[in-house]
Amino acid sequence: MTGVDDVIKRVRDLPSLPAVVVELMASVEQEDIDTHALASKITLDQGLAAKTLRLANSSFYGMPAKVTTIHQAISVLGFHSIRTLVTACSVTASFAPGKDAGFDLEAFWRHSIGTAVCARVLAPYFKLNPDTAFTAGLLHDLGTLVLATGYPDEYRQVGAHRQQHDCQAAEAEQAVFGIDHTAVGSALAAHWKFPLAIQRAVAGHHQADAAGAAATPATVIFLANVLAHALDLSEQEDDQVPPLPLELWRSLTLNQADWYAVFERTELTFHDMCQVLTP
């Protein structure tokens, strides 16, 4: 049986993100960023620059005129949005498509992107940074990807355990690996030097705490994850919607019109994001 230590070692053996992404994530609390130098670094990576421009021109941002350069993208969208785009493009490109037929990589990314989009839409209602929420949403299930691509035989056992016991993925992963995707994903976020708030959101996205207007990023990712499942964004036949505790639901400050707006905005922008971010 694969041990916890082996799983964590595999996380630490994963390649680092590009230097420009590490620099971007280290700049979360900085105000004096040399955006011209940063734009030049992004431009040097042709694949990353192309994806960033495609995303900048998507309906997600609704630019009135076509954005043609990274410098222009930064000036129009702002540094924080560009940081999110570059990080998202790099993360989704860090894992090659798996050869194991037992894991649906496309469905995985559809759900991750759907959660990220929904988290970004929800963030303003809870006075949270939308770009941080998006990044945490995109990363929230990366531990699943580590387990499924690194241990395909064992991960088939996770699927079998879920069917036999009719349980959520985290419970089945604990039974097979002795660790679940939230802990693995948090370790990967730390390995990649993401901010502590994102690490905590990844680690706690299955923990439902009362929200109100002062929700934590982890609570918003919990909600976004539930909604992405409920909206069937992954298009998986056996997808399960995690339970939403009544106490959490009652603590939310959104009214019916707010929820309709969240659903509409999420679905409108989801497909554009998938076209750009899906590996």
Q: Does 242 score more than 90 pLDDT?
A: no
Q: Does 97 score more than 60 pLDDT?
A: no
Give the mean model confidence (pLDDT) for residues 223-228. 92
- How much is the pLDDT for 210? 54
**Residue linked to tokens 């993100």:** 17
- How much is the pLDDT for 211? 53
What is the C-alpha separation between 186 and 106, in angstroms, rounded? 22
- How much is the pLDDT for 101? 44
Decide which of 51 and 203 is more confident.
Answer: 203
Q: Is 202 exposed, middle or buried (0-12, 13-18, 19+ CB in 10 A)?
A: buried
Tokens of 60: 């997600």
What Cα–Cα distance (Å) separates residue 261 from each residue in 17, 60, 123, 230, 264? Answer: 35, 15, 13, 15, 5
Give yes or no for a contact between 60 and 114, defined as CB atoms under 8 angstroms apart. no
- How much is the pLDDT for 233? 85
Decide which of 19 and 189 is more confident.
Answer: 189
Structural domains in the chain?
Answer: 18-93 (no CATH), 96-277 (1.10.3210.10)
Residue range 37-67, pLDDT digits in tens: 778 888 888 887 887 788 778 776 777 888 8
Residue range 125-177, pLDDT digits in tens: 988 888 889 989 988 998 988 888 888 888 888 888 988 888 888 899 899 89
Decide which of 132 and 114 is more confident.
Answer: 114
- How much is the pLDDT for 56? 79
Q: Whole-number mean pLDDT of the chain? A: 82
Cβ density class 242-278: b for 16+ within 10 Å, e for less: beeeeebeebbebeeeeeeebeebbeebbbbbbebbe
What is the C-alpha separation between 51 and 181, in angstroms, rounded? 28
Positive or negative torsion for Cα 141, 142, 144, 145:
positive
Cβ density class 7-40: b for 16+ within 10 Å, e for less: bbebbeebeebbebbbbbbebbeeeeeeeeebbe
Tokens of 174: 């604990």
The amino acid at residue 174 is Q
Tokens of 163: 């069917």
Give yes or no for a contact between 137 and 116, defined as CB atoms under 8 angstroms apart. yes
Q: What share of the chain is helix, strand, coil (3-state, %, to 5)?
A: 70, 0, 30
Give the mean model confidence (pLDDT) for residues 113-117. 93
Rg over CA atoms, the chain? 18
- How much is the pLDDT for 81? 76
- How much is the pLDDT for 103? 76
Listed residue (243, 245, 247) closest to 168, CA to CA: 243
Decide which of 149 and 264 is more confident.
Answer: 264
CA angle at 93 for the pair 52 and 58, rounded to the nearest 5°: 30
Q: Is 96 exposed, middle or buried (0-12, 13-18, 19+ CB in 10 A)?
A: exposed
